[in-house]
Structure 1
């Protein structure tokens, strides 16, 4: 198969022929149809998230099953499937307590991901994040494959493996936004814009988009934000308080990743409010927070991975919202690329020219 292989950090990704390894009995071969290029993969490209080359990036995809192992049940060749960034094994400690977003099948690997292919010179190639979506075929665990019955385009379905689930799940599953709440969204890239849409659906009375890029800020307004704040020109804390009777937002969704944005998310929340953190800058980044708002004012600070989604429970709901037009992917998928254009997709993600650029096959 052809795959985009990260051979060395900070050097162009190599699109080349590799030999797909035979799957073991608990794995599934999926013909890739679409994989969004995520900003997380930009971070991995620069070596800041612990990936080990040679590896195939791409941690969320959609495709069609072409082969299943002998111990795989409930998945059949020909099915349309979503391959998200997080497996759900159903048997580990975290799945057992209802938190498959922290499934040990991924997070206990210590960054040593399974090998799925071999280069022409014989080097083993891993699947970053256990997916390896920037390849014509994925060799993935049966616990990371979720059949769907939907005629939505594959590029939209692929967003359900990371972007939609994280942004929408942050609002529905983590913050549990209620009608009448005020919600501030810090960072209006693709995650933040999904959070804006979800807050609108949840009935938030005020949705305050905090974003320095004018085009993203304007799009947030089109998708449901009631107040638009440019933190590079305005005092964001004062602007949020002005929109919330001087208190601060009931709920803040952080979707930016930069440490200063994560501090700002705390500062724009009200006393006894909820702050949800979902962004990552790089693997060694640290955040400094003021102690009084943190320890005395009874805020709930929580983090989320993939929106605390349970795929079998939440996928049908999210797909239904997309099918009925209540969630809109059309302005968020800003570019579509062939596999050979992977380095252009990388550049457009890094320069923030794309919201979600999708590799299509």
Structure 2
């Protein structure tokens, strides 16, 4: 196969990404080349663009994707050329401490490398390029660890499959795996971006009595209501709205899917005593969150965080695919645009202006 590809490079923070032809580095024995078919633009890459998440240029952003295997390393087993694969945001090596205790969402193959991501290509001017998140999905070809791709047997469109690497797993997993929403519970979702909207759908599937969405953007509130939210309010009305349907207690389960510290504090404040708060948003690695001590420390809330919905991809991915195939999870309102790779900066700008929920690059 060709040893060159086109990729969108982050060469410097707050500088437009450049789409360039780069030379692929040699394939290591335990890695796989995947021809990219679709990669969603994630809002966290807006933060990466501004230098807030510790990425080191030149890098290829895009931390979840879907594609077709085109080459496998000599030591790779169970992966074959021609297979359709989902490339999730987190590997499952099966060997590290966290995989050993049943928490592959914290797999050491990603989180113990200190942000030093694998080098995958070289630019025409001789710079070595790394793959952010060990994926580098904003490129025609990805160089992926054998532990970070999962073959799938489904006819779902590529752009939908690509959402299974991050958005669906995080939003649905936050509800089902972390909050463990039960029938008749009152659920509040703070933030109606793509993660929040997947959480809304999952809460309805779990049988929630009420799903209250807290979102400042009017258009996103409208989408949330169309997808099953029973009430949609702005942040200033959140506490009153939740108390109105819980006899003044607060929500049983709160899913935070926004990112700003104020949203995470609000998630705590609208939960009830002995309720559960799940935090999943991230805007800046350097930011600290201040929480009021009484509800945080002495009112028996469970305040949990989640990475990729605490999913076990080999267990959860087939179930989520079945939900998509049956129409129980609906991606149509969430995929608001598709783009060629050359429109990388347009997708970034539209994400930052909240004009897209999920913009997806289709190759």
Residues 49-100 of structure 1: CA deviation (Å, up to 9, x unaligned): 0000000000000000001111111110000000011000000000000000
1:120 positional shift:
0.5
52, 55, 62: which is aligned to 1:51? 55
Tell me what 1:140 maps to: 144
Report whether the alignment pairs 1:193 with 2:201: no
1:35 positional shift:
0.4
Tell me what 1:74 maps to: 78
Other structure's SS at 1:161 match: coil
346, 349, 356: which is aligned to 2:348? 346
Other structure's SS at 1:240 match: helix
Other structure's SS at 2:188 match: strand
279, 294, 298: which is aligned to 1:292? 294
Other structure's SS at 2:200 match: helix
CA distance in 2, matches of 1:346, 1:199: 29
1:335 positional shift:
0.5
Other structure's SS at 2:219 match: helix
Tell me what 1:118 maps to: 122
Tell me what 1:103 maps to: 107
Segments of 5+ residues of structure 1 without an aligned counterpart are none
Tell me what 2:309 maps to: 307
How much is the aligned-residue C-alpha RMSD, in angstroms? 0.6
Other structure's SS at 2:331 match: coil
1:338 positional shift:
0.2
Residues 223-258 of structure 1: CA deviation (Å, up to 9, x unaligned): 111111112xx4311221112121100000000000
Other structure's SS at 1:235 match: helix
Tell me what 2:245 maps to: 243
Q: Which runs of 4+ in 1 moved over 6 A?
A: none
CA distance in 1, matches of 2:148, 2:167: 16
Report whether the alignment pairs 1:22 with 2:23: no
Tell me what 1:161 maps to: 165
1:17 positional shift:
0.3
175, 182, 198: which is aligned to 2:179? 175
Residues 136-166 of structure 1: CA deviation (Å, up to 9, x unaligned): 0000100001000010000000000000000
Other structure's SS at 1:35 match: strand
Tell me what 1:335 maps to: 337
Report whether the alignment pairs 1:150 with 2:154: yes
TM-score by length of structure 2 reads 0.98
Residues 158-186 of structure 1: CA deviation (Å, up to 9, x unaligned): 00000000000000000110001100000
187, 201, 207: which is aligned to 1:203? 207
1:282 positional shift:
0.4
32, 35, 57: which is aligned to 2:36? 32
CA distance in 1, matches of 2:245, 2:27: 55
CA distance in 1, matches of 2:350, 2:97: 39
Tell me what 1:324 maps to: 326
Tell me what 1:229 maps to: 233
CA distance in 2, matches of 1:350, 1:226: 27
Tell me what 1:129 maps to: 133
CA distance in 1, matches of 2:200, 2:11: 37
